[in-house]
Chain A
Amino acid sequence: MREGSLLEMRGIYKSFPGVKALQNVDFTLRKGEIHALMGENGAGKSTLIKVLTGVHVKDEGEIFIKGHEGAVQIRSPQEAQRVGISTVYQEISLCPNLSVAENIFIGRGKGLKVNWREMNRRSAELLDSLGIAVKPTQQLASCSIAVQQMIAIARAVDMECSVLILDEPTSSLDESEVAKLFKLMRQLKDRGVGIIFVTHFLDQVYEVCDRITVLRDGQLVGEYEIESLPRVQLVSKMLGKELDDMADIKNDSAKFTDDGGTPVYEAQNLCSTEGIKPFDFSIKRGEVNGFTGLLGSGRSECVRAIYGADPVTSGTVKMNGTPVKITKPKDAMKNGIAYLPEDRKRDGIVGDLSVRENIILALQVKTGFFRPFSKAKATEFAEKYIKLLDIKTASVNTPIKSLSGGNQQKVILARWLLTDPKYLILDEPTRGIDVGTKVDIQKLVLKLASEGMSITFISSETDEMLRTCSRLLVMRDRKLVGELTGDQLTQNTIMETIAGGDRK
């Protein structure tokens, strides 16, 4: 082990059936540093954390920890704790009905006897030293989420951890709470604790971290000092596209002609309960536009607000120039808006129902409770779209859950196309499906647009967005930060806008 290192992971391999989650990954954490672990979803961040905390056992590789001779074996979360690795997860795993002091000491006593006075005194000391303003006897549930988060950290610190892992700790905190958390992190850093910080927020990384390790597709991209890695480079490393030698893909098929007419859909100051900043948005007939940004930047939340999928808190909406009220999905459907959700399994399919029932569902709801389609009519609808979209299913009676992912996606697409929408929102329609189907869906999007449908398209793959969209709205940290059209539609400008090059 090198001088000054707290933790070294060397040549870590981990695979799951069909996936190589980690391949030859190295990671080093030094004493008194805050180290960001970055990567897109599926890059292997959480697998690496889970290997380190004993949730998963590594296939190959070695882990060294300061103060322990040779390589250590971490086979369970308990063992990880014993060697001084503590983790605070995004969801707080404390007991809300117990007091703060009880939460700090739970599961650590020896024997049955509890010295309450001692416990409260020591908790008070600990909280005081970390500057957390709560009483040890206070019930945990009465503290704010941020304070609960800090108590979880205090508990970890008191257990004499040398390595503290913070997994997305800021995602449910507001700005002032984040500031408090950062203050606490810096204090711990001064005490010599090494902190691994996992987050999607670029601003926060640059505010608090010393070093960055980037993973992509289960492999180590590199370890960088924060000063030597500008934001744009970080984004390009995460996405795996080098800035210089990237071939710009020209947008050749989407022909959007600005006819100056009234937008099909127009929203001002739209905001939902999901923590996005109010945004303005409009789309014209036959236009394909898209929301881009890193995962967690709020792009899905924006389209969900448009569709009324999350409770809308403010904003005015006009369809073809007429003010309308869209507060729930049914309102959106009545106004000719269709929404293909990001999480197909959770929000898209009705697993046990047949392909036929899944296809007719939305139109059926639109048609009304007392006007069900006959079985023959429903079968006719279903068969038409099975043919049109080339859905591979044994029959219309097959339960949708037994179809492959791509075919499930096509069924949901069919469901919305059947309603003949004026405005179609596709949130990650190509995620987790094979290349052939991806191309099919992109072609379909362009074909539909040429027929006059307005489409908003979201994808994690920038190539795909460039190929289909004529206008891109860029999101960062839950805020709409830019709009790109025409010549600006290149990988470079997108990345710069995502990274916030204008500010740093």
Chain B
Amino acid sequence: MTKKLDPHGGGSAITGIFRNQIFIPFAALMLLAIFNLIADPSFFAITMNNNSAGYPVLSGQLITIIDNGSELAILAIGMTLVTASSRGQDISVGAAIAISGSVLLRVLCGTDTRPETMQAPIIVGFIVAAIAAMAFGAFNGVLVAYFRIQPMVATLILFTAGRSIAAWINNNELPIVPGEEFKYFGGYIPGIPVPTPFLIAILCFILTWLMLKFTNIGLYSQSVGINEKTSRLNGLNPELIKLTTYVILGLCVAVTGLIKVSRLSTINYSVIAKDIEMDAILAVALGGNSLSGGKFNMAASILGAYVIQFLTTTLYKFDVQATALPAYKAVVVIVLVVLSAPVVREKTARLAKKLRSSKTPAENHA
């Protein structure tokens, strides 16, 4: 009796896999990999070449994916938590990256847009930028948690104003950070052949894993996202928890901003991290997480982010024009999102079960 009611109990390994959340992004990744393997196996080639600075680094399409997918994966961490607790998404992350990057440049370059040397250590610049990004995260969080404005509406404010604020911070000038050292964060550290953004991403994953293991942020944010009333009666402070997730997303924004700005040593206010919020939300959705909050699977979100980058890189590889890229991406995304919808997953699992039972009717009727 209870067994029938329980989607996790009983059933074969097959239905179990279909229902496992990480299955969808994983299957998508495999499909893309197989497609590339058939179309052009050289996609997976990884070589050791000297880069422009003259030391050997790894290169290849896979390296491009883990390099360029890092920012999205880091953002997906914060976006997953925000989605879980506040049952909505922050659409201002792109604009917030512009602000945080702009703050970073302002600290590192001072008032001079073309300084000979850095005006402050990078760590100081990053800390100031992180504080700024977390403050803007808190701004969104307060609107959502305490004023109970829908997340998308609340974050629309920064989405609209953010890039102007970013430009204003540097008087609409484009300072350039001098020296090679700053480029390490978006490029390579001499002697290490792996792109630094990926290393930063790995560090973020470890920190996230530690955070989920050694604090209750996971349990609390899910609980608040699923049933706020119950959470309150169990002694939680739903407002504070929502606010916390927005501040964590702010920190993710600051890290992403550092990588983005470091890649160029400068900033382009209107282009930097453009549309990244949509990809970050998509990563969460591709991970099979409900965009209306509640339960989440962090690993699935992160994998989802890399699937998106894998797809983008694949499309570039096959010479899809940059302007046509979003259209192709959209088609693939529709298929993935529909497949990962709980309704479809449930149906697929049921279908699998049916197929099985029609093969062995005696077993089921016994």
Q: Is B174 an interface residue (CB 8 A)?
A: no
Q: Is the CB of A353 within 8 A of B226?
A: yes
Q: Is the CB of B233 within 8 A of A329?
A: yes
Q: Is the CB of B8 within 8 A of A350?
A: no
Q: What is the minimal beta-carbon distance from B177 to any residue of chain A, in angstroms? A: 37
B218's nearest neighbour on chain A, judged by CB, is: A372
When the two chains form the complex, which single residue of B1, B227, B234 contacts A365, counting CB atoms closer than 8 Å? B234
Count of chain B residues near A, Cβ 8 A:
31
A361-377 interface code vs B (CB 8 A; 1 in, 0 out): 11011101110100000
When the two chains form the complex, which single residue of A309, A333, A350, A404 contacts B223, counting CB atoms closer than 8 Å? A350
Q: What is the minimal beta-carbon distance from A426 to any residue of chain B, in angstroms? A: 14
B220-241 interface code vs A (CB 8 A; 1 in, 0 out): 1011001101111111110000
Q: Is B5 an interface residue (CB 8 A)?
A: yes
Q: Is B294 an interface residue (CB 8 A)?
A: yes
Q: Is the CB of A352 within 8 A of B216?
A: no
A352-B294, A357-B219 as given contacts; A365 in contact with B10, CB under 8 Å: no
Q: Is B365 an interface residue (CB 8 A)?
A: no
Q: Is the CB of B6 within 8 A of A402?
A: yes
Q: Is the CB of B230 within 8 A of A372?
A: no
Q: Is the CB of A364 within 8 A of B6?
A: no
Q: Is the CB of B229 within 8 A of A361?
A: no
Q: Is the CB of A350 within 8 A of B226?
A: yes
Q: Is the CB of A402 within 8 A of B7?
A: yes
Q: Is the CB of B8 within 8 A of A365?
A: no
CA distance A395 to B3 in the complex (A): 9
Q: Is the CB of A365 within 8 A of B233?
A: no
CA distance A393 to B8 in the complex (A): 11
Q: Is the CB of A350 within 8 A of B227?
A: yes
Q: Is the CB of A361 within 8 A of B219?
A: yes
Q: Is the CB of A365 within 8 A of B222?
A: no
Q: Is the CB of A341 within 8 A of B233?
A: yes
Q: Is A472 an interface residue (CB 8 A)?
A: no
Q: Is the CB of A372 within 8 A of B216?
A: yes
Q: Is the CB of B232 within 8 A of A329?
A: yes
Q: Is B214 an interface residue (CB 8 A)?
A: yes
CA distance A395 to B6 in the complex (A): 9
Q: Is A392 an interface residue (CB 8 A)?
A: yes
CA distance A330 to B238 in the complex (A): 12
Q: Is B213 an interface residue (CB 8 A)?
A: yes
| Residues of A335-372 contacting chain B, CB below 8 A | 339, 341, 346-353, 357, 361-362, 364-366, 368-370, 372
A352-B226, A394-B10 as given contacts; A330 in contact with B295, CB under 8 Å: no
CA distance A54 to B219 in the complex (A): 45
Q: Is the CB of A361 within 8 A of B7?
A: no
Q: Is A268 an interface residue (CB 8 A)?
A: no
Q: What is the minimal beta-carbon distance from B295 to any residue of chain A, in angstroms? A: 5
CA distance A307 to B213 in the complex (A): 31
Q: Is A208 an interface residue (CB 8 A)?
A: no
Q: Is B358 an interface residue (CB 8 A)?
A: no
CA distance A365 to B220 in the complex (A): 9
A344's nearest neighbour on chain B, judged by CB, is: B230
Q: Is the CB of A349 within 8 A of B230?
A: yes
CA distance A361 to B231 in the complex (A): 9
Q: Is the CB of A369 within 8 A of B216?
A: yes
Q: What is the minimal beta-carbon distance from B348 to any residue of chain A, in angstroms? A: 19
Q: Is A403 an interface residue (CB 8 A)?
A: yes
When the two chains form the complex, which single residue of A362, A368, A394 contacts B3, counting CB atoms closer than 8 Å? A394
User: Which residues of chain B have C-beta atoms less than 8 A from A348's C-beta?
Assistant: 230, 233
Q: Is B215 an interface residue (CB 8 A)?
A: yes
Q: Is A144 an interface residue (CB 8 A)?
A: no
A354's nearest neighbour on chain B, judged by CB, is: B8
Q: What is the minimal beta-carbon distance from B320 to any residue of chain A, in angstroms? A: 39
Interface-centre pick from B213, B230, B231 (highest chain A CB count, 10 A):
B230
Q: Is A327 an interface residue (CB 8 A)?
A: no
User: Which residues of chain A have C-beta atoms less than 8 A from B294's C-beta?
Assistant: 352
**Known pairs A369-B216, A372-B215 / 4 extra A-B pairs, C-beta < 8 Å:** A307-B233, A309-B233, A351-B227, A394-B5
Interface residues of A (CB under 8 A from B): 307, 309, 328-330, 333, 339, 341, 346-353, 357, 361-362, 364-366, 368-370, 372, 392-395, 397-399, 402-404, 407, 415
List the 3 closest pairs (A to B, CB-CB), nearest first.
A394-B9, A394-B6, A330-B235
Show 21 residue pairs from A and B whose CB-CB distance is below 8 angstroms, ordered by the A residue. Answer: A329-B234, A346-B229, A347-B230, A350-B226, A352-B222, A353-B226, A361-B219, A361-B234, A364-B219, A366-B235, A370-B214, A370-B215, A394-B6, A394-B10, A395-B9, A398-B6, A398-B8, A399-B8, A402-B5, A403-B5, A404-B2
